[in-house]
């Protein structure tokens, strides 16, 4: 990444301290631990790898790319289609709530930073996916997709590892 400002913005957007509550949601890991699907380090690693391969790679990252493209093109109809697709792709009520709660928190943050948000994003009562708003911010801050994707995955992965460390005996 050659743009220092874009790098700084990517680090902010991907930071565990970004006030969107990502650290508060287990993304289904807590349930998997209760069901004893995850009992140790190897189980946690397998779970995280599976989520990365099946959810992030096949759902979130394509939506991230499309939402960045639609933001660049100001194609808000496509942007909202991807937003709705992202929310509909969540397998459980908990995962949908996680996505929309983090999306709502990111929207509040973007508003506080005086982002020039399109009407479809600021419309009352509309639910927003974290992935599409992450894409919007990344595009507006001049972050290229590959870097945005790395930041998005890093943020998710850091939260998963932190959750596993707290909930699973990992050799401590």
| pLDDT tens-digit map of 50-65 | 999 999 999 999 999 9
* pTM for this model (two decimals): 0.88
pLDDT for res 1 = 60
pLDDT for res 26 = 65
Q: Taking the domains of the chain in order of start, what are their residue ranges?
A: 26-166
pLDDT for res 76 = 97
Residues of the chain with pLDDT > 70: what percent?
A: 91
> SS3 string of the chain?
CCCHHHHHHHHHHHCCCCCCCHHHCCCCHHHHHHCCCCCCHHHHHHHHHHHHHHHHHHHHHHHHHHHHHHHHCCCHHHHHHHHHHHHHCCCCHHHHHHHHHHHHHHHHHHHHCCCCCCHHHHCCCCCCCHHHHHHHHHHHCCCCHHHHHHHHHHHHHHHHHHHHHHHCCCCC
pLDDT for res 139 = 96
pLDDT of 78 above 90: yes
What is the architecture, at CATH level 2, of domain 26-166? Orthogonal Bundle (1.10)
What is the average pLDDT across 1-20? 74
pLDDT for res 65 = 99
pLDDT for res 103 = 92
């Amino acid at each position: 990444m050659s743009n220092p400002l874009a790098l700084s913005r990517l680090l902010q957007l991907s930071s565990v301290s970004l006030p969107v509550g990502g650290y508060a949601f287990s993304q289904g890991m807590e349930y998997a631990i209760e069901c004893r699907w995850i009992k140790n380090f190897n189980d946690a690693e397998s779970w995280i790898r599976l989520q990365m391969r099946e959810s992030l790679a096949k759902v979130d990252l394509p939506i991230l790319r499309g939402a960045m493209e639609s933001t660049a093109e100001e194609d808000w109809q496509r942007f909202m289609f991807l937003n709705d697709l992202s929310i509909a792709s969540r397998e459980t009520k908990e995962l949908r709530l996680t996505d929309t709660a983090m999306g709502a928190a990111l929207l509040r943050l973007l508003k506080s930073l005086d982002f020039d948000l399109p009407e479809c994003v600021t419309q009352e009562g509309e639910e927003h996916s974290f992935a599409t708003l992450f894409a919007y911010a990344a595009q507006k801050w001049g972050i290229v997709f590959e870097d945005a994707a790395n930041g998005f995955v890093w943020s998710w992965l850091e939260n998963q590892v932190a959750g596993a460390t707290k909930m699973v005996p990992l050799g401590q």
